[in-house]
A and B are shown apart, each in its own frame.
Chain A
Amino acid sequence: MDSDTLEIISVWLNYGFPVLLILLAYFIGTIIEKRHFRNIRAREKINREYPVVSLDTMPEDWNATASTLVTGSVVISLDYFKRVIAGLRAIVGGRIKTYEPLLERARREAVLRMTESARRQGYDAIFNVRLETSRLANSRGDGNGTAGVEMLAFGTAVRRDSRFAPVADRI
């Protein structure tokens, strides 16, 4: 092997591979994100009528018969391409647009999981919904390392006795 071939191979390993990885991450990452948003929208449509509120008190005429704590969580990570872009963005400052959809979809997913868990258990509504974000794994500035974000949604699921106030109250 002459030195030219070696040169080409080393250039390819040094620059070609990361660029390929970035392109791969960009395409697959975009597909995954789009698919996830589609899935979220479809499930949100199903759960549109279900009351999920951040109020901590129930309406007066609700007679709660059972209640429990429900949670929903998701750990989500950004693709390599977006992490690199965010790393570059951090030099000049300003809004990092690539991170916003990530946090949005994680949050919506967590709320959906909480809602679905309450529905499965036969509860009628969720009160006092709280959302929490925590950065789990460490992510380094160069775009390597895991950049997982955990979203947690929790609230109090309540079951009511009937849709209407008791007969005695209405007379």
Chain B
Amino acid sequence: MDISNTESIPGKRIVEFYGVVSGNTVRAKHIGRDIMAGLKNIVGGELAGYTELLQDSRNEATQRMMDQARSMGANAVVNVRFATSSIAQGAAELFAYGTAVRVE
């Protein structure tokens, strides 16, 4: 399955549109990670636990979006966008959306 954030798949032609597909996931942070992050927070720098957590969540949201596109009969998702929102204390929503298309 092809996926891109440009308006088409490079080197291919869009033959059919299926509409917008999206996938989301809401994740809460882990208490162990949070304690580590709290310590790291004093001296600054990368919070590796959070980076990993968000990357995993984003992959899951993307996967859900692609599953939805696949179930519609599409073979590619173009113009993919990401959004992150902090919905509650310690929880974040990762959201991915794009246009499901058939390419040749």
Contacts and interface: CB of A to CB of B under 8 A. Distances in A.
B37 A68 contact: no
B51 A75 contact: yes
Given A75-B51, A76-B44, A76-B45, 10 more contacts: A29-B45, A32-B43, A63-B11, A78-B44, A128-B4, A132-B82, A137-B37, A137-B86, A152-B84, A156-B10
Interface of B: 2-7, 9-12, 29, 34, 37-38, 40-48, 50-51, 54-55, 58, 62, 80, 82, 84-86, 89-90, 92
Contact of A82 (B12, B44, B51, B89): B44
A138 B41 CA distance: 12
Given A73-B58, A77-B45, A137-B90, A148 B11 contact: no
Interface of B is mostly: mixed
A62 B12 CA distance: 12
Contacts of A134: 84-86
Interface in A63-78: 63-69, 71, 73-78
A76 B6 contact: no
B45 A128 contact: no
Given A32-B43, A137-B90, A156-B6, A67 B51 contact: no
Contact of B42 (A24, A62, A64): A24
B10 A158 contact: yes
Nearest to A31: B43
Nearest to A155: B5
Given A73-B58, A75-B54, A150-B50, A68 B3 contact: yes
Interface residues of A, number: 49
A78 B40 CA distance: 9
Given A64-B10, A136-B92, A148 B50 contact: yes
A156 to B, nearest CB: 4
15 contacts: A25-B43, A64-B12, A68-B2, A68-B4, A69-B4, A69-B5, A76-B46, A76-B47, A77-B45, A78-B44, A80-B43, A127-B6, A127-B10, A152-B82, A154-B80
B44 A33 contact: yes
B6 A128 contact: yes
The 5 closest A-B pairs by CB, nearest first: A79-B44, A64-B11, A64-B10, A75-B50, A134-B84
A43 interface: no
Interface string A75-112: 11111101000000000000000000010000001000
A135 B29 CA distance: 14
